[in-house]
Amino acid sequence: MNELIGFKINELAHKFRKAVREESERNGIPSSYFHVINCIGMIDENKINQKDISEFLKYKPSTISITLSNMENDGLIERVKDDNDNRNTLVKLTKKGEELSKKIKEIFMVIEDKLTNSLDKNELECFSKITVKLVETLERR
């Protein structure tokens, strides 16, 4: 059974990404924007630099750069200078971006509810602990 764990994790991740993509498209949100807007929206002041987005999402910096440029052209983000360091440019959601962020959070809740509604509280807690442990194990390698 151990040899199947990686395949099962990959299958779950694939199906989750597919559900996110389909829900995004159904709601008129380009899937490339979905995780980036969600990442920016999770920050308290809705300001984050491009490098941090790239590292958090594990996307190539060039991919984030292109996505942010498209989002800026669509009026979803703006780039602002960091008050603490003029060399640093931060990405910030516009009002339009904040509205989309709220919609994205609702979509995530729908997907998570669908994903977890067949699990009881103990199964969910166990899954969460196991997932954290597996991630930590792989990060140590």
Decide if pLDDT at 108 tops 70: yes
- Please write the tens of the pLDDT for every residue from 113-134: 998 999 999 999 999 999 999 9
Decide if pLDDT at 104 tops 70: yes
User: How many CB atoms sit inside 10 A of residue 36's CB?
Assistant: 28
30: which residues sit within 8 A by CB, 6+ positions away? 24, 70
Domains assigned to the chain: 2-140 (1.10.10.10)
pLDDT value of residue 87: 86
pLDDT value of residue 1: 54
Decide if pLDDT at 75 tops 90: yes
Going by pLDDT thresholds of 50, 70 and 90, the confidence category of residue 54 is very high
